[in-house]
Amino acid sequence: MAVSSSSPSRLRGHARVSRRRGGGAVLRCSKSAVAPAHETRQVVPPFWIFTVDLGRVKDTWMEPQWGAKGVRYEIPLAVELKPEGGVALPVAVGAYAQMELGEGNWTVDGSTFRMQLPLSRRYERGDVWLDEGTPLNFAVGFYPDACRIAQRGGRVTIPAVRWFVRREKRLVGTCVVRGPYATKDDATRELESSRVRKGDHDGRVYETRD
Residue 22 reports pLDDT greater than 50: no
Q: How high is the pLDDT of residue 1?
A: 60
CA end-to-end span of the chain, whole Å? Answer: 39
* 11 vs 54, residue with greater confidence: 54
Closest CA to 43 of 81, 16, 80, 11: 11
Q: Which parts of the chain fold into alpha helices (H)?
A: 40-43, 184-189
* Inter-residue contact 177 to 154 (CB < 8 Å): yes
Q: How high is the pLDDT of residue 35?
A: 42
Residue 39 reports pLDDT greater than 70: no
pTM (2 decimals)?
0.75
Q: How high is the pLDDT of residue 67?
A: 87
Q: Which residues contact 171 (CB under 8 A, 6 or more apart)?
A: 57, 59, 60, 61, 62, 155, 156, 157
Residue 42 reports pLDDT greater than 60: no
Q: How far apart are CA 83 and CA 106, in angstroms?
A: 9
